[in-house]
Chain A
Amino acid sequence: MNPEALMANRLPDPRFRDILITNAHMEIQTHVQEPLVTKLLQLTSLSTHFTLPLGTLKVVDNLDLSLEKGETLAIVGESGCGKSMTALSIMRLVPPPGSIVAGEILFEGKDLRSFSDIEMQHVRGNKISIIFQEPMTSLNPVFRIGDQIAEGILLHRKLAKNEAREIAVEMLNRVGIPSPSSRYNDYPHQLSGGMRQRIMIAMALSCEPRLLIADEPTTALDVTIQAQILELIDDLKREFGMSLLLITHDLGVVAERAHRTLIMYAGKIVESGPTAQVLRYPLHPYTEGLLSSLPQRAKPGRPLSTIPGQVPNLLLNLPGCGFCDRCPHKDWKCSTEPPPLREPNAGHFVRCWKHT
């Protein structure tokens, strides 16, 4: 039996699950009028693998995810867990030797995997935009920032240069750059880190995308600037009616911004559900461990609780649960059989033998 079919058996009926998720979100998303046809993005058993001389690295392994219109979904995990690769897979920008080997990426009902490269170019930056962590390296140092914003607009819309320039200035204004028309001519090195991230946001939103993917958008910034940028993204999200896929390792950011949260570990989703539920009543031992290792949750000066050990080497392709070596509740079954994703509470999923 092929692994996909196996996985399909373990999952609850997908239609049923969708209704549950939608219902859980009715309270939060009052501005969404037609909750049943609001699915913007749906990944079904997405697998992205890296083929290396030493073996195959399953960086994203059989991942299911759905995102509603206007929703903020957070993907949380440590470095190497596959959260950024999930984002790059959606954009079809996985660098070689990696490739998407299986699964569907349904965006507005169409599978992005079936798109040609040219068709994909009309999606990137136009319907789906991405902001990266490093505002220093994602801007071209030898072009004026305004021209870099206008470039995307010219590419996706049939506009004259001066019209694109007007839109770019308007975008600079929208993201809170003071005196935007003179700042249009600045080069990236003339701006601070926070300002550069604002430029990246202006660039990403210039074509009014339906989906914004923010990959660690504030990790390189100071806390006071982080608060500004997150507030700005939230405001613009509401204004444009976008959906947001927020990739981060900061559980505090998640608590304040995301409707739903996915926790990833070693290429797999280990837990997902409404943010408040996941953070208040975590089901997976990894989520519990992450939350209790935060200094905020400990008494000052007392030892923090830790998750022993390290992330497993994905090349080893261990059978069973990827977390079992570090898990305090490990059982004989954990190291031999991979646990299925189950739904103990409506809308709250977990991949652990403890909850089957």
Chain B
Amino acid sequence: MNKPLLEARNIRKYFSVKPTPFAKALSLKAVNGVSFRLNEGETLGLAGESGSGKSTLGKLLLRLLAPDEGEILFRDRCLDTLSARELLSFRKETQMIFQDPYSSLNPRMRVGDIIGEPIKIHGNSDSAGYREQVNVLMKRVGLSEEYFSRYPHEFSGGQRQRIGIARALAVSPRLIIADEPVSALDVSIQAQIINLLQELKTEYKLSFLIIAHDLSVLHHMSDRIAVMYLGAIVELGNTEQVFSRYLHPYTEALLSAVPHLEVQERRKRVILKGDIPSPLAPPSGCPFHPRCPYARPEICAVIPPPLEEKRPGHLAACHFSLKQTD
């Protein structure tokens, strides 16, 4: 199972932004040197606040955007070198599930056609077999076959998310990138969708990259977790390591900000001051140092900490990480 399926090597994506119409263009470092590896059959969770570059990273990995620097390897082949035909078969093996089940389905298409469209695009569309395939998919995600000719507006948020999942499964992909798959849903529906994704993962032997800001969802679903801050990974490790033996102060703050169910439990709480800095003017040195409760300006504001392996398989980008926790 430890064969790498997808690998990112130091990828960067900068956008050129003009704050006002006549200002000089600034470069916004959305993804700033990200490297990781996703093994076959594995679920990698990507955590971070809005503006940390999680969604841009997801788009880069699907090649909906091309990176400015660095390379992305799928089954040990660099995406840059793929021909148009090879790119099409790459797209067949990678699919995406979107956050908003309202805007990600075409309101003028019938549900059956939405689910079946990928099958048509990637060949294999003799009409009898096609209808049969769509029916199997609909049944698998918990939708009745009778819904084939209905339109998206007739469905609730949870059902729409099921339609989106069926569409992603239609071409039997190897890798699914799910960008906030449950954050728009109610708690009781959220649990249904999480269970469905988990079942499909084992059934279809899928690999998942799950982007979410809800850490309890990531804790439940992921094998490994990467925490992003201002376009870079600040901590990467298996779920247990990141949640109970975290190394980066940002991870600590994220975890302690999650409201706890146990009433009146006294625990150490780190409340971060201020907002995530603008990626147009990232702080010098360690990007987290202005908000970090442990920062030492003489070091943290000057030298950017590299992402290093601090324990076997557990990486963090912090000058002091081991001293705090051990």
Q: How far is the CA of A303 from the CA of B192 in the complex (A)?
A: 9
Most B CB contacts (10 A, CB to CB) among A231, A279, A290, A295 go to A295
Q: Using a CB–CB distance below 8 Å, which chain B residues touch chain A? A: 49-50, 156-158, 186-192, 194-195, 198-199, 213-217, 219-221, 239, 253-254, 256-264, 269, 271-273, 275-276
Partner of A231, one of B198, B262, B271: B271
Q: Using a CB–CB distance below 8 Å, which chain A residues touch chain B? A: 78-79, 192-195, 222-228, 230-231, 249-253, 255-256, 275-276, 279-280, 289-291, 293-298, 300-301, 303-307, 310
Contacts of A222 in B (CB 8 A): 49-50, 213, 276
Decide yes or no: A276 and B264 within 8 Å by CB, A231-B271, A293-B191 being known contacts.
yes
Contacts of A226 in B (CB 8 A): 257, 259
Contacts of B263 in A (CB 8 A): 255-256, 275-276, 279-280
- From DSSP, what is the main secondary structure of chain A's interface residues? helix
Q: How far is the CA of A349 from the CA of B117 in the complex (A)?
A: 51
Could you tell me if A303 and B195 are in contact, using CB atoms closer than 8 angstroms?
A: yes
Contacts of B254 in A (CB 8 A): 223-224
Could you tell me if B194 and A228 are in contact, using CB atoms closer than 8 angstroms?
A: no
Q: How far is the CA of A33 from the CA of B272 in the complex (A)?
A: 35
Q: How far is the CB of A54 from chain B (nearest CB, A)?
A: 15
Question: Can you list 16 residue pairs at the A/B interface with Cβ under 8 Å?
Answer: A222-B50, A222-B276, A223-B215, A223-B257, A224-B49, A249-B187, A251-B261, A255-B263, A256-B260, A290-B187, A295-B191, A300-B220, A306-B188, A306-B191, A307-B191, A310-B189
Decide yes or no: A294 and B187 within 8 Å by CB, A228-B271, A304-B194 being known contacts.
yes
Q: How far is the CA of A195 from the CA of B254 in the complex (A)?
A: 19
Could you tell me if B257 and A227 are in contact, using CB atoms closer than 8 angstroms?
A: yes
Q: How far is the CA of A195 from the CA of B156 in the complex (A)?
A: 32
Q: Kindly list 19 other residue pairs between chains A and B, CB separation below 8 angstroms, not including A222-B49, A300-B220.
A: A79-B186, A223-B215, A226-B259, A227-B256, A227-B257, A227-B271, A249-B186, A252-B258, A252-B260, A255-B259, A296-B261, A298-B220, A300-B221, A303-B195, A303-B198, A303-B199, A306-B192, A306-B195, A310-B156
Contacts of B271 in A (CB 8 A): 224, 227-228, 231
Could you tell me if B275 and A293 are in contact, using CB atoms closer than 8 angstroms?
A: no
Q: How far is the CA of A240 from the CA of B182 in the complex (A)?
A: 37
Q: How far is the CB of A297 from chain B (nearest CB, A)?
A: 7
- From DSSP, what is the main secondary structure of chain B's interface residues? helix
Q: How far is the CA of A210 from the CA of B295 in the complex (A)?
A: 41
Could you tell me if B188 and A78 are in contact, using CB atoms closer than 8 angstroms?
A: yes
Most A CB contacts (10 A, CB to CB) among B156, B188, B253, B260 go to B188
Could you tell me if B191 and A304 are in contact, using CB atoms closer than 8 angstroms?
A: yes
Q: How far is the CB of A125 from chain B (nearest CB, A)?
A: 27
Could you tell me if B261 and A297 are in contact, using CB atoms closer than 8 angstroms?
A: yes
Most A CB contacts (10 A, CB to CB) among B50, B187, B275 go to B187
Decide yes or no: A252 and B194 within 8 Å by CB, A276-B264, A310-B156 being known contacts.
no
Contacts of A230 in B (CB 8 A): 259
Could you tell me if B216 and A294 are in contact, using CB atoms closer than 8 angstroms?
A: yes
Could you tell me if B275 and A195 are in contact, using CB atoms closer than 8 angstroms?
A: yes
Contacts of A193 in B (CB 8 A): 50
Which residue of the partner chain B has the closest CB to A280? B263
Contacts of B220 in A (CB 8 A): 295, 298, 300-301, 304
Contacts of A192 in B (CB 8 A): 275
Contacts of A306 in B (CB 8 A): 188, 191-192, 195
Which residue of the partner chain A has the closest CB to B250? A224
Which residue of the partner chain B has the closest CB to A308? B192
Contacts of A298 in B (CB 8 A): 220
Contacts of B264 in A (CB 8 A): 276
Which residue of the partner chain B has the closest CB to A194? B275
Contacts of A294 in B (CB 8 A): 187, 191, 216, 261
Could you tell me if A78 and B187 are in contact, using CB atoms closer than 8 angstroms?
A: yes
Q: How far is the CA of A188 from the CA of B99 in the complex (A)?
A: 26
Q: How far is the CA of A249 from the CA of B190 in the complex (A)?
A: 12
Q: How far is the CB of B302 from chain A (nearest CB, A)?
A: 24
Q: How far is the CA of A228 from the CA of B189 in the complex (A)?
A: 28
Which residue of the partner chain A has the closest CB to B215? A223
